[in-house]
Amino acid sequence: MSTISEFRERLTNFYRYPRICKFQDEIKDKEPMMSFLQTPHPGDKLVYIYIHIPWCTSMCNYCPFHHTYYHHTSEELRWQFTEAVAKELTMYAQTPFFYKTPIVNVNFGGGTPFLLEVKQFERILTTIYDQFKMGDKPVISVEGDPIALQNKEKLKDLKSLGMTRASFGLQTFNERLRKKLTVESSGMDVYKAVDSLHKAGYTEWGCDMLYNCPEQNVTEIKFNVDRICELGPSIIDVYDLNISPNTKLAKQVIDNRFSSNPSNQNEIEQFRAIQETFAEHGFEQVRSVNFKPKTAEIMRNGILYQFTEDVLAIGPSARTFLYSGGRNYRNHCSTEKYIEDVEKGEFPIEAGNIVSDSIKEERDMILFPYYLEVRKDRINYERFKSKILDMVASGYVEETPETIRLTELGKSWAGNVQYYFHSDEEKEAMATSTFLSLQQGTNLFNQDFVNVGRPRQMPTLGQSESRV
């Protein structure tokens, strides 16, 4: 048995497997991709709905998710979009696959979905309640930003429509850094938003914080965690800042616009400081990127379980993964193209792949470090035995009679353990995706131009393929 050497360069977490690359996985014929809809769902997985709302009031310079300026959209377009979402939901609900299949969780993400009007939420939620069978006590959540979430009346109205949870990007309390990252809100807005959440009766709320940003150090990270714990969220997402090549932020870093830049050493030190500081406040690490107060409950139908269940994703750029149907695909990133396809009665899908049982087994191994552990009877242990033993010998993973799980050391290297379980084919496809994205001047996430200036002259895809 070979023992792998120590991980040195820390990798970011993987939330999806296999990759979807617009250049490699373009869907030319939609029919075979959607044929699964004719067979009833076997009921072996919980079903979640994700709805992507593509607007924000600011353009944070690090963010690769599909979004455009809310203030550049017309009232008419926003209603046209809302109707397209309702229609796409209905198209799925009326298939044998989703008919009578209970929905346990609805998550509005983005972008900043909280910007939608109450009437638009009502239109979408009523469509879900009317068209789908709802599970027992569904979790319904919405992402906002610290300015939008100060609207107490809207929070209350959404609660009466069934919203159970809200979250927002806190990122950092360092005002100077917020400005440099072009985050519109201030730390004071965070306090006001939390006050509104409490007054509107939201007992469950979460926030995201960033680490390993330019100019961040361990002292600032500890300060952020201390302040967050005082605010009393029920869940916190901690993300290492991913500076995607081609983005505006990447160019600023290259141009030395910051007094210190992210480094691998900073990243590891800051993540350890995050773990220690949360522990001092009585919070526990429940996922590779999530911390919660020990007393807060995690519901199986809550958002933290979504990656091992079936996710139907609605809206532009949204990514569906269905174990039961064996499908992995993403909608168009262009909001206009999305609306156009739905209005024609077509599923607005752009890229994806059909997933074999073998790939599902790989996915289970790749996602287990995100969940910190997995039961041995939920994976194909024999198939991955030699890689598991490598990880055990290297100190990142340990075995119990029923489970395999990350060690304390492994919890700081979850992304690397995930990458170690990737198949060689998938590693190669990911490298090709990176190469093509860079060559085409797009961002690496959706291969679109969010936060990226369009290159003056783009090579054609045919040219780039011939060089791979």
Ligand X SMILES: C[S@@+](CC[C@H](N)C(=O)[O-])C[C@H]1O[C@@H](n2cnc3c(N)ncnc32)[C@H](O)[C@@H]1O
Q: ∠ at Cα 87 (85, 92), nearest 5°?
A: 100
d(CA 19, CA 112): 24
Q: Are 110 and 69 within 8 A, CB to CB? A: no
Q: Which of 195, 208, 340, 390 binds ligand X (CB under 6 A)?
A: 208
Question: Using alpha carbons only, how large is the chain's radius of gyration in Å?
Answer: 22
Q: What share of the chain is helix, strand, coil (3-state, %, to 5)?
A: 40, 20, 40
The owner of tokens 């607007």 is 55
Q: Of 56-64, 219-227, 348-356, 372-380, which part binds ligand X (CB under 6 A)? A: 56-64
Choose the binding region for ligand X from 63-71, 174-182, 311-319, 423-431 (rule: CB under 6 A).
63-71
Q: Which of 18, 54, 169, 410 binds ligand X (CB under 6 A)?
A: 169
Rounded-to-integer distance, Cα 281 and Cα 144, Å: 26
H or E segment and range at residue 6: none
Q: How many CB atoms lie within 10 A of CB 226?
A: 14
Q: Which among 98-106, 123-131, 151-159, 166-174 is the span making contact with ligand X, rule CB under 6 A?
A: 166-174
Residue 59 binds: one of ligand X, ligand SF4, none (C-beta under 5 to 8 A by kind): ligand SF4
Shortest distance (Å) from residue 56 CB to ligand SF4: 3
Q: Does 421 bind ligand X (CB under 6 A)?
A: no
Q: Closest Cα partner for 369 from 308, 282, 433? A: 308
Which residue ranges make up the site for ligand SF4 (CB under 6 A)? Answer: 56, 58-60, 63, 65, 67, 110-112, 145, 169
Return the beta strands (E) in 188-282 as ranges: 205-211, 235-240
**How far apart are the C-alpha atoms of 315 and 81, rounded to whole Å?**
9
Residue 314 near which of ligand SF4, ligand X, none (CB within 5-8 Å, type-dependent) = none
The distance of closest approach from Cβ of residue 111 to ligand SF4 in the complex, given in angstroms and rounded to an integer, is: 5
Binding mask 228-247 for ligand X (x = CB under 6 A): -----------x-xx-----
Write out the binding residues for ligand X, residues 83-112 only, by CB under 6 A: 110, 112
Asked whether position 194 contacts ligand X by CB under 6 A, the answer is no
Give me the residue label for tokens 């939920």. Answer: 378
Binding of ligand X by 62 (CB under 6 A): yes
Applying CB under 6 A, which residues contact ligand X?
Answer: 56, 62-65, 110, 112, 143, 145, 168-169, 171, 208, 210, 239, 241-242
